[in-house]
Amino acid sequence: MITKVSDSFYSFLPTGCKLCHEGAKMVLFITGLCRNNCFYCPVSDERRNKDVIFINERSVSSKEDILQEAHSMKALGTGITGGEPLLVLQRVLDCIRLLKKNFGMSHHIHMYTAESPDKAQLQDLNNAGLDEIRFHPPQHLWDIFANSEFARSVTWAKELGMVVGIEIPCIHKANCIVPFALEYDIFLNLNELEFSVTNAAALKERGYFLLYDELSSAAGSRDIALDIKKQYPYVQFNFCSSRFKDAVQLRKRLLRTADVIARTFDEITQDGTLFYGVITGDEEEIIRLLIHLNVPKDLYSPAGARVELGWWVLEDIAKSITGRFESYYEECYPTHGKMVVERVPLTIDSMYLR
């Protein structure tokens, strides 16, 4: 049976993807180093070919960063990606052990690799607790995959009891790999080809163009997935669209995080962002005024040269602060660093309640 969600469709969802659908999967970018140079590579300049680690959007400098991020989104699993994780195998093993030790064996971990690990590497990954491995071969191997070293790695990974799949962008020649997935009884994840800042020129050079102005989907990618679905109805198959990543996956992860980190006075929006009021100026003076106005302590929080408070509280006390302090509504992501999405100055016209 084929299920459809936000332009995505699938006949089979591996556990790694199921958790992603719930927004419960954390992304561990383990290194930007990679020996390949795929034209469709979406890795940003900040990360590409640099040995850097990120957990979701957050740069990692210690184990605690990883654990904090997992707590902040109530993560039920982790996807290890890069760059090429096998280039920093020991780091991967340490992180798998760290996560399993702190969140239990049920914390599901999957990993991508564009290389063909040998038996010893797979054994190490399996012993550390890796649950699922997704092979991400470069495009020139897709039509000779069965005769490549990847076929060997797939066999060994299966023998070790891991869940095994192939994950590639849905472009020309993706269909060549389907018979292999069927023969070896492994799942196939096709990602909609997406434009990014770093791959846009290479994609345009090859004749790709945007399907919609507001999304990064490349035209034609989804059609290839539809053809594969029609031609191979029995393959364990998932097509993951760009719209799905934005509308479902990211939004759900933001909602989970907002749920954990929201203060009493933060309003959580439908998109998973936080909405509150801000008064800027001398912190002590603002707090004196809030106490004088009998604003309960749990409805505001000092934050440097500003005080954040419930947006409705800000509206209630608007007359007392006008002319003395600057104030505005603010909306931010609940993620580390709390990137601001929008700031609207408080004026009579901007007030939500009056």
Question: Where along the sequence are the contacts to ligand SF4 (CB under 6 A)?
Answer: 34, 36-38, 41, 43, 82-84, 114, 136
Q: Identify each DSSP E strand in 25-127 by its residue range.
A: 25-31, 54-55, 58-59, 77-82, 108-113
CB of 182 to ligand SF4, least distance (A): 24
CB of 218 to ligand SF4, least distance (A): 15
Query: In this complex, which beta carbon is closest to ligand SF4, that of residue 40 or of residue 328?
Result: 40
CA 137 to chain centre: 21
Query: In this complex, which beta carbon is closest to ligand SF4, that of residue 82 or of residue 310?
Result: 82
CB of 137 to ligand SF4, least distance (A): 9
Closest CA to 333 of 28, 47, 58: 58
Assess contact for 119 and 152: CB atoms under 8 A.
no
Assess contact for 142 and 173: CB atoms under 8 A.
yes
Distance CA 242, CA 57 (A): 18
CB of 80 to ligand SF4, least distance (A): 12
Distance CA 139, CA 166 (A): 12
Query: In this complex, which beta carbon is closest to ligand SF4, that of residue 137 or of residue 272?
Result: 137
CB of 36 to ligand SF4, least distance (A): 4
CB of 88 to ligand SF4, least distance (A): 13
User: Over 144-209, what HEC string results?
Assistant: HHHHCHHHHHHHHHHHCCCEEEEEEECCCCHHHHHHHHHHCCCEEEEECCECCCCCHHHHHHCCCC
Query: In this complex, which beta carbon is closest to ligand SF4, that of residue 84 or of residue 131?
Result: 84
CB of 48 to ligand SF4, least distance (A): 8
CA 141 to chain centre: 27
CA atoms within 13 A on the CB side of 159: 11
Number of H helices, E strands in the chain: 13, 17
Query: In this complex, which beta carbon is closest to ligand SF4, that of residue 34 or of residue 279?
Result: 34
CB of 334 to ligand SF4, least distance (A): 28
Query: In this complex, which beta carbon is closest to ligand SF4, that of residue 239 or of residue 328?
Result: 239
Distance CA 98, CA 296 (A): 41
Assess contact for 29 and 81: CB atoms under 8 A.
yes
CA angle 76, 130, 255 (to 5 degrees): 20
Angle between helices 119-128 and 89-103 (to 10 degrees): 20
Query: In this complex, which beta carbon is closest to ligand SF4, that of residue 34 or of residue 181?
Result: 34
Q: Which tokens go with 174?
A: 């993706």
Query: In this complex, which beta carbon is closest to ligand SF4, that of residue 52 or of residue 182?
Result: 52
